[in-house]
Structure 1
Amino acid sequence: MVTDAGLGAALRALSSTPHLLVALDFDGTLAPLVERAEDARALPASAAALRALAALPDTTTALISGRALDSLRIVAEPPAETMLIGSHGAETWTGPDGAPLALTPEQQELLRRAVDVVERTAAGHQGTLVEYKPAGVVLHTRTAADDVADAAVGAARTGLAELGELSITDGKRVLEISVVRADKGQGLALLREATGATAVLFAGDDVTDEDAQRTLGPGDVGVRIGPGPTAASFTVDSPEDFTAVLEELVALRTADASSRGTCHTTEA
């Protein structure tokens, strides 16, 4: 149950919009944060709520993640109709006809050099890891001691500064490097336009999610999971608390669909 009266009222208003887009971050939002990225999985109740929303009429679900799309599909196991934004907006999947990400030769060379810097950094700093993406590379420091993590990020930034035009973003114990300038705000704008959504629920837990939070307008609902400065109108403490938000929206949206006679039924 949602205990924040303001959030409950916002969800009730959102549930009656003609076409709803539910766009969510994955790690730290649907799934608790874990040390090994490949071990992350959505909370069962949140995954069930996402499936229920995806099955409702005039409702589109989407995941907007810093993960590469291949990694996101493995850990999230999203409903088939769920749209996907990966690599902080650099990769998009809005259906089988969407064009895959393609880098120019210049971007490919820049990426190769960035990967070399991050690999050398990780090799010299115990507990740090490298994640590879189609348009970028990530230095993970969650399993490193704090002083080692700080030193690794500093060393990586120093090396990367010599390479030229890169998009570099700090997240929760990660340093994200991309040769494509994109962010979750651009990804959310693309989804809004592609779906014709009349209102959006967006939720996320990290600095990179704030790019999407800042795009929200009147009638939209933004939720921040966990502490930190945010442009979101509402905050909940944890992914477990966000489950209640999704379940409330499922109930409200289902009731609205039933009242309009648009809810799908199955006969025995």
Structure 2
Amino acid sequence: MPDAPAPDDLGTDAAGGVPIDLRDRLLAVAADTAARPLLVALDFDGTLAPLQDDPAASRILPAGVEVLASLAGLDGVALALVSGRAMGDLHTLAEVPPGTYLIGSHGVERARVTLFGLDRDVVELAHTEADLLAVLGARAAAVARGRDGVWVETKPTAVVVHTRLAEPQDAEPAEAEAVALGTELGVGTLHGKDVVELTVLRADKGTALQALRHELGAPVVLYAGDDVTDEHAFAALDPQDVTVKVGGGPTVARHRVADPAAGVAALAVLRDALERASRA
């Protein structure tokens, strides 16, 4: 399947830069009662929340908060966020309504938002995995040491080398060393935008997303993401599903929007069409 059009090649309508082909597909899904329950699953950073140099500053666009709340309130719609972030960070930053599924750490962690917090699946490591995680942390810290702007995040099952704040002369060798470390230790390695994640439990967004869709019995999934790690989800989904790349770069997604604002506008198109269908 050819890549989705590049941002400069998108034929858009007046509805916030939503490409015409995507708009037509969303309208068709909304009109198809056999597509229920519809699973709307979305990456967080770079998809709903514009990328920030400081990850703690990421927030969903205000229009996105509103449209997610209204989508979650519709019958026959399930909402999920699928992120590389650790579950704790994702829950803290994501302004999503109760009932939303949260998939963190690229599929390792899963929870559902409730009125009282999180109904969370417990992730337990074997002793050998915990020991390996400790080694990863120490070795990743050595990769970052002495390189301005390179820092290490520790997750329940992984360590992450971040380079977004680093200059290329520090970022490029740090990422290369982190990838080599993953190969040396035989752990799962995910190389995304300005980040390398090394995990002792192998998982990917595609596997996690398909597991959720089968659990819910969702005949159609809409998934939108911006990073190379989202390509796992695009590739894993089925021909009837709606896959949306946010921003530039090669992709196997069937549709593309230019930026998070256009992605939120596309969600508003879907929401409005679903509301009209429910009144018909």
Could you state the TM-score of these two structures normalised by the residue count of structure 2? Answer: 0.88
Paired position in structure 1 for 2:4: none
In the alignment, is residue 131 of structure 1 matched against residue 153 of structure 2? yes
Unmatched segments (≥5 aa) in structure 2:
1-14
Q: Which of 138, 161, 166 lines up with 1:116 in the alignment?
A: 138
Q: How far has the Cα of 1:218 moved from its partner? A: 2.8
* Native 8 Å contact 2:226 2:246 kept in 1: yes
Q: How far has the Cα of 1:219 moved from its partner? A: 2.3
In the alignment, is residue 63 of structure 1 matched against residue 81 of structure 2? yes
Cα separation, 2, equivalents of 1:156 and 1:231: 26
Q: How far has the Cα of 1:129 moved from its partner? A: 1.3
* Native 8 Å contact 1:172 1:206 kept in 2: yes
- Cα RMSD after superposing both structures: 1.4
Cα separation, 2, equivalents of 1:249 and 1:65: 22
Q: How does 1:168-187 map onto structure 2 within 5 Å? A: 168-187=189-208
Deviations 1:150-193 (Å, cap 9, x if unpaired)?
11122333444433x20011100001111011000011011101
Mean CA deviation greater in 150-159 or 69-78: 150-159
Q: Which of 230, 233, 241 lines up with 1:220 in the alignment?
A: 241
Paired position in structure 1 for 2:11: none
Q: How far has the Cα of 1:4 moved from its partner? A: 2.0
Paired position in structure 2 for 1:35: 53
Alpha-carbon spacing, 1:160–1:196, altered in 2? closer, same or farther (3 Å): closer
**Overall identity of the aligned pairs, in %:** 41
* Native 8 Å contact 1:222 1:232 kept in 2: yes
* Native 8 Å contact 2:19 2:257 kept in 1: no
Q: SS where residue 233 of structure 2 aligns? A: helix
Cα separation, 1, equivalents of 2:135 and 2:55: 24
Q: SS where residue 228 of structure 1 aligns? A: coil
Paired position in structure 2 for 1:7: 22
In the alignment, is residue 231 of structure 1 matched against residue 246 of structure 2? no
* Native 8 Å contact 2:18 2:265 kept in 1: no
Q: How does 1:23-102 map onto structure 2 within 5 Å? A: 23-94=41-112, 99-102=121-124
Paired position in structure 2 for 1:264: none
Alpha-carbon spacing, 1:79–1:161, altered in 2? closer, same or farther (3 Å): same
* Native 8 Å contact 1:203 1:222 kept in 2: yes
Deviations 1:70-100 (Å, cap 9, x if unpaired)?
0000111221110011000111114766531
Alpha-carbon spacing, 1:33–1:98, altered in 2? closer, same or farther (3 Å): closer
Q: How does 1:242-257 map onto structure 2 within 5 Å? A: 242-257=263-278
* Native 8 Å contact 1:54 1:60 kept in 2: yes
Cα separation, 1, equivalents of 2:43 and 2:120: 21
* Native 8 Å contact 1:213 1:232 kept in 2: yes
Could you state the TM-score of these two structures normalised by the residue count of structure 1? Answer: 0.92
* Native 8 Å contact 2:109 2:121 kept in 1: no
Cα separation, 1, equivalents of 2:233 and 2:206: 4
Alpha-carbon spacing, 1:235–1:128, altered in 2? closer, same or farther (3 Å): same
